[in-house]
């Protein structure tokens, strides 16, 4: 994995552990020679990931929509800052520029990005690993809901392993690097659906 799209919040929670985690994720990726592709903002966890990676000498590519760049939240310290017309183009750029997806704590936008990465993997638009860093139990309920969808039958057995979740970054990155693509819906026979 040469680059990972990092999905996370642009907010700064009151609990300082979240900002510390984001900075550490950026530093750790840079120290491993893994570039960061992210939302291009300078605020919240997004800014902390970028700062951590840049301070450790890493590559940071920001992808930001015009509206946010014009609102003066763009991080001009990035190795490269790409401005796009909207959120759809932003997520497509994340997919095209990265070798996988790493989700750390965040809000609604982070969930949108995560679920799209999972959905696109399930369909066959990409065959890249989708990782979730479940730090501090932040994603316990999301992971339980994902299991519930599988138990009810809304996630096919072939796709139940798309989301790779761990509580420790090292283990998560190891599992993501060992990722083997599943059979996507586009390649399945009607009888398998």
Closest residue by Cα to residue 40 from 99, 113, 100, 141? 113
> Does residue 192 fall inside a structural domain?
no
CB 13 within 8 A of CB 111: no
Q: Give the range of the structural domain holding residue 63, as residue numbers without chain letter.
A: 3-178
Number of domains present in the structure of the chain: 1
The CATH number linked to 109 is: 3.40.50.450
Q: Give a yes or no: residue 119 inside a domain.
A: yes
Tokens of 164: 């790779």
Closest to 166 measured CA to CA, from 134, 142, 140 = 134
* pTM recorded for the entire structure: 0.95
71 within some domain: yes
Q: 3-7 and 130-133: which strand pairing?
A: unpaired
Tens-binned pLDDT, residue by residue, of the chain (193 aa): 999 999 999 999 999 999 999 999 999 999 999 999 999 999 999 999 999 999 999 999 999 999 988 887 999 999 999 999 999 999 999 999 999 999 999 999 999 999 999 999 999 999 999 999 999 999 999 999 999 999 999 999 999 999 999 999 999 999 999 999 998 988 888 877 7
């Amino acid at each position: 994995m040469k680059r990972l799209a990092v999905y996370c919040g642009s907010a700064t929670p009151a609990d300082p552990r979240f900002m510390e985690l984001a900075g550490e994720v950026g530093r750790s990726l840079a120290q491993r020679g893994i570039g960061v592709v992210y939302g291009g903002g300078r605020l919240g966890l997004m800014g902390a990931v970028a700062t951590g990676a840049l301070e450790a000498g890493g590559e940071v590519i920001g992808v930001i929509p015009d509206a946010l760049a014009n609102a003066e939240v763009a991080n001009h310290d990035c190795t490269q800052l790409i401005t796009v017309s909207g959120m759809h183009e932003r997520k497509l750029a994340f997919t095209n520029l990265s070798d996988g997806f790493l989700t750390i704590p965040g809000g609604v936008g982070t969930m949108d990005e995560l679920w799209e990465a999972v959905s696109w993997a399930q369909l066959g638009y990409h065959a890249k690993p989708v990782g979730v860093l479940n730090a501090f139990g932040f994603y316990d309920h999301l992971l339980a809901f994902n299991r519930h969808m599988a138990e009810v039958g809304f996630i096919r057995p072939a796709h139940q392993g798309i989301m790779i979740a761990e509580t420790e970054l090292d283990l998560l990155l190891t599992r993501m690097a060992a990722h083997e693509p599943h059979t996507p819906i586009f390649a399945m026979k009607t009888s398998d659906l």
